[in-house]
């Protein structure tokens, strides 16, 4: 299926971004610790950079986790029979698609509030591009659930 392949490629790109962000966060933390404790000279704005890097990690992790079944879940409905399980799958995927779609919309349109001014505390880096990247991750998650919904409706 073409949509599944496209979604897999997009998820792979987000996963690579998340992996690079984790690596960058490790280097950033190591440099911050060395400067603070060994050189006794903390880096101004290191907290801002760490928070923004964590957003990138979260964006990559959300998409990777969804595509690889890595999110923690419980399935108490399986024992109730295949018909109830199918209805539950359809319901949950419908709700998940809607919630993730709404979250994506909010991250693009409303994340910085009415003022549209979101900057980090020390370095004044704008948050909007990071929120938008997280919005892309949520849109990919919504697409993943929409695809799962389509499969559940078809019975595949």
Instruction: Give me the average pLDDT of each 10-residue run along the chain (156 residues).
Output: 86 92 93 90 88 91 84 67 80 92 88 69 80 92 92 80
Buried b (16+ CB within 10 A) or exposed e, 8-24: eebbeebbebbeebbee
Question: What was the pLDDT predicted at 117?
Answer: 67
Is the separation of the CB atoms in 118 and 126 below 8 Å? yes
Question: What was the pLDDT predicted at 67?
Answer: 84
Question: What was the pLDDT predicted at 111?
Answer: 72
Torsion sign across C-alpha atoms 80, 156, 147, 7: positive
Tokens of 14: 């987000």
Q: What residue ranges in 83-144 does DSSP mark as E strands?
A: none
């Amino acid at each position: 299926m073409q949509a599944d392949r496209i979604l897999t490629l997009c998820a792979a790109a987000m996963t690579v971004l998340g992996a690079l962000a984790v690596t960058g966060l490790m280097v950033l933390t190591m440099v911050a610790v060395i400067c603070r404790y060994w050189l006794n000279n903390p880096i101004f704005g290191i907290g801002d950079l760490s928070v923004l890097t964590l957003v990138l990690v979260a964006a990559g992790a959300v998409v990777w986790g969804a595509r690889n079944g890595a999110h923690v879940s419980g399935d108490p409905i399986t024992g109730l029979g295949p018909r109830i399980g199918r209805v539950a799958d359809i319901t949950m995927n419908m709700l998940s698609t809607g919630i993730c779609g709404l979250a994506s919309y909010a991250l693009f349109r409303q994340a910085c509030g009415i003022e549209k001014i979101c900057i980090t505390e020390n370095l004044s880096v704008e948050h909007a591009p990071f929120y938008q990247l997280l919005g892309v991750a949520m849109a990919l998650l919504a697409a993943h659930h929409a695809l799962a919904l389509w499969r559940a409706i078809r019975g595949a």
